[in-house]
Amino acid sequence: MSQEPAFKRRRIEDPSPAPPSTLTTVSDPMDIDAKSPSSTQADLSYDNEFSRLIGTLGKDALKRLQASKILLVGVGGLGIEIAKNIVLMGVASLTLHDTAPVAIEDLSAHFFLSPESVGKNRAEVSVARLTELNERVKISVNNATLDEKTLSEYTTVVVTNSSSRAELIRINDICHNHKISFIAGEVRGLFGFIFNDFGTFTCIDSNGEPPLTSYVESITKANPGVVTVVDTDRHELEDGQIIRLTEVQGMTELNGHEHKITVTGPYTFSIGDTSAMGDYVKGGFVEEIKVPAEHNFEAISSFFGKPLPHDKVSVSDWAKFDRCSNYHYFLQALLQYQEQKGSYPTPGSSEEAAAVASLAQEIATASAPEGETPTFDEKTTKWMTLLAKGSQGVISPMATIFGGIIGQEIIKATSSKYTPIKQFLYFDALECLPSEELTTEDCAPRGTRYDGQIAVFGNEFNEKVLNLNYFLVGAGAIGCEVLKCWAMMGLSAGPNGSIHVTDMDTIEISNLNRQFLYRPWDVTKFKSETSAAAAQVMNPELKITPWSVRVGPDTETTYDADFWGKLSGVCNALDNVKARLYMDQRCVFYQKSLLESGTQGTKGNTQVIVPFLTESYGSSVDPPAKETPVCLLHSFPNNIQHCMQWARELCFEGSFVKDADINNNYIETEGFVDSLAPTLRLSTLQTLKATMLDRPKTFEECVEWARLEFEDKFGNAIKQLLYTFPKDYVDKHGTPFWSGAKRPPTPIVFDAENELHLDYIVSASFLKAFSFGILKSEFKPADLEEKKQEIKKTLSKVTIPEFKPKSGVKIETDMKVTKVQASYDDKDEETCTAILADLPAFGSDSLSTQLMNPVDFEKDDDNNFHIDFIHACSNLRASAYGIPQVNRLKTKLIAGKIIPAIVTTTAACVGFVNLELYKLVSMESKKLEDFRNSFMNLAIPIFSQSEPIAPKKQKYLNTEFSLWDRIDIRIGDATLQEVLDYFRNEHKLDVEMLGVGQSLLYAAWAVAKAKTRLPKKITQIYEEITQTKIDREHQKYLMLEPTALDLEGNDVEDIPLVALWF
């Protein structure tokens, strides 16, 4: 449960294999390929710790970030969020500047403060806790005057609490003149802004996506020449992009050159004049070239006192597009009011807030072009007044959103990667407010840590938050951020509040740079317990119960009706769709709200599910993940992803997992072979022959096996493929077989002195020896180098049989086939019978010593041989097919299916999630249009919010219902007859069939059986059929599945869910 949900409309799954990119260029946004696939131990340690972050940023960009010097001015709620994010990512140094003492209201958003911190300097009390996050970062305090000398020491300056508009302008002007990247941002109640000034900024990669690639189908000899790509995937290129062509045969003048393209169709584009070139024969590979883009920024002073150009502001919520230009005046008015009065408006004061709106009107009028007199309408004045009333408060969700976005802008400024915000971002979440008008009495400070929240929402609302009961499912990166927000909000801190958090996972070293509640000394501890304890340190008033019990059908006696009945809502922080869908179904059944979110690198999304108001998470289904065709996987790979999948699924899983499972099933399951489908019979028995009759007994025999496997996979299989389809083979239409995406392979000649060859043998030998119990440990021995020399000696003695090609071998070439098609004939049956005769019978004494150890794949432990094997195996296959090899880290990312992750995206997503939670607190006054689903890509950057979709309505008879409606039968432990009568009397339905899950309890046409069951209780019938006893302490209902007619004998197709409560 540690991570996070590639997008559909609003949710993220495990990423599908990356597009076919095989050429490594300087523009590779992951910049993690190395000329040599090998890695030092120091590299492995660094890569392991930062693997998810490198998967997002790339190693070069990360190292530029980790050499930056940041000055952060203001360490309030927003400042500490920014600091946390950039310290976790590992900037070289962070200097804090804040002369303000801690006030009790700071505890509403500053998670490293305690009541004992009040009166102390905010920057100084933050240093120690920030240092715990990452001891590599040099963190210091400098509260000297922010003059030219001080500011010039830093690469980036971030200001989060400007005391006045004049001060903001002064600091920005110094930075602009000294070419120091400058970021300003602030959150005030439910309003926030960001401003960037990076001077003249060169962006080396605008989006961070892998370069687009395609294989060439044909190229015309014309002006302009048109390239057609293989039609398995659209090229996705746009007009004006630059591409490079390689591997073109015939029209070789194109190879190695860059071309500016014009798109002519989804599979075609033109590249300029090819009319004087040679004739195109076959082949060709297209790769996008990322061209650096220059951006010019202006200082903030050039934007004040004039209308804000539309191209200088990012829109986050199109429903509020009309506010974009007026946000600019509102910001200036807030700053001016604070400068004049020494503070923002008194919380809840309509009079003082109205003064801010009046100031904004004056600024708009003074800024207008000559001859124009802008006048705010009543709607504009109202939203400005409402935002100003809460502007003294700083709340955690808003600070979390802006801390994540500003953290990402710091990455851009320091690494030159991704497109920065140009130049303003404004945002408000006014719809979070309760419907009733708040007064100064409602919002007056109570001298508590929640005064910042009270200033925005009032005390009555705050008390509701404190007494919420929430279930957090997952304590990974999202879960940590959620608990932090809840600690600041005080969720569960009231006498009737509670939090339950569950996660089965334990903490790993790779978690530490994004799951910020964990420290190095927490590694191997349960996430749920550790995160709960960390949140209670932030706010000792929280009441949290940690669980390490996963959610699923088999734990419904743990998370039973009583458990669900006490919940206010559920927040998912999961990393897989199956668990999400299950929790979604549970929330629908118990009619509870669900907060859903997911991230993938710089992309994130959130979804709010509200009973009876919105559709559920499962209402719209993502298309299934695209399966790799059998021919690409087995015989015709054209990118490193195909090689990785082959190495992981067919070689690693096949030899060290599936073989062991088959072996052990034969030993432990009587009749195992008889239960097999005919098409699986031969392959299974051949595996049993290898594991039982021909099993290795010594480590040397494992080395011999590995050498023969090398010859079979990288020599003989390729020779057979080229025998069946020679390199000059043409199809019946005269088209060269080896063209387009098909790359003819070259058999590999084994060389024990070749590091990659030897790595394959070594890793395969150790894994084989462990799976057969020859070695007791799967980990690398201390004398591994000596063992390698012994393996070399063994290799010199291995006899390799001469390869003899076979005729009539069928090799799949159809791209539409995604499953291996197995057959079974009389000859196969003879082979099976012969193997069975030699196998020891079930229950034989000899079988007890032949159990094997299935290898449980673990990508993050460099002491095992798992990634070593897949890395060597996939790179060997790549070299055979002329596909560039990759380094070990990229192997880990792809083969380990590591989802790129970065704390900035996680933080922003969680902030948006908790804004929706605020709305749920005052649910009685909210409409569908008040809620928001959010999507963001911090790399581009894009921020998009939209209303949720209402649930689909259905009808049975004259009754309308949605997925949220249910027929609850509450007539006790009823008999079958009583239930049938209930349907007829209460719902005018005659039940034809009645089932529970897979069990059919009643069928009208089975008269005799029905007659005996009618007087019996439904629960009794169910127990008799399933031969299981209902756990009545925890299970309070059965879900009935009726098929029914109306009273006139017509079929009723749509019936709501039915629950029988007993």
pLDDT along the chain (1062 residues), means of 10: 37 34 35 45 62 73 84 98 94 95 97 97 96 93 94 96 89 97 97 97 92 93 94 88 94 94 96 94 92 95 93 88 92 94 95 97 92 90 97 98 97 94 96 94 96 97 98 96 98 97 91 87 94 97 96 93 96 93 96 96 96 94 73 90 94 95 93 88 93 95 97 96 94 86 94 96 97 94 94 96 91 79 81 92 86 91 93 97 90 82 94 98 93 96 94 92 95 96 95 94 93 96 94 92 94 93 94
Report which DSSP code applies to 393: -
The pTM of this model reads: 0.88
DSSP conformational letter for 728 = T
pLDDT at residue 899, rounded to an integer: 76
For residue 48, what pLDDT is reported? 65
What one-letter code names the amino acid at 382?
Answer: K
* Cβ within 8 Å of residue 846, ≥6 positions away: 840
pLDDT attached to residue 537: 97
Tokens 């929240």 — which residue? 453
Q: Which residues of 485-524 are buried (b: 16+ CB within 10 A; e: fewer)?
A: bbbbbbbbbbeebbbbbbbbbbbbbbbbbbbbbbeeebee
What pLDDT, on a 0 to 100 scale, did the predictor assign at position 349?
A: 97
Instruction: Say what the pLDDT of residue 42 is.
Output: 56
Instruction: Give the three-state DSSP class for 358.
Output: helix
- pLDDT at position 587: 97
CB burial readout 232-265, b (16+ within 10 A) else e: bbebebeeebebbbbbbebbeebeeeebebbeee
List the one residue out of 565, 561, 549, 554 whose CA is nearest residue 1034: 561
Kindly name the residue from 324, 631, 832, 873 that is annotated as catalytic.
Answer: 631
Q: Residues 6 or more apart from 150 whose CB is under 8 A from it?
A: 142, 144
The whole-angstrom separation of Cα 350 and Cα 740 is 70
User: Catalytic annotation on 651?
Assistant: no
And the tokens for 992?
Answer: 């034809």
Who contacts 585 (Cβ-Cβ below 8 Å, separation ≥6)? 618
Q: CA-based angle 1012:1016:1020, to the nearest 5?
A: 120
Q: How are beta strands 262-265 and 268-270 bridged, if at all? A: antiparallel
CA distance 764 to 709: 9
Residue with tokens 């504009």: 380
What is the b/e burial string over 164-187, where b = at least 16 CB atoms within 10 angstroms of the residue's CB? ebeebbbbbbbbbeeebbbbbbbb
Strand partners of residue 599: 604
What span, in angstroms and rounded, lies between the C-alpha atoms of 47 and 54? 8
Which two tokens mark 888?
A: 């070990």
CA dist., res. 578 & res. 676, Å (int): 28
Backbone phi, then psi, for 19, in 5-degree steps? Answer: -60, 160
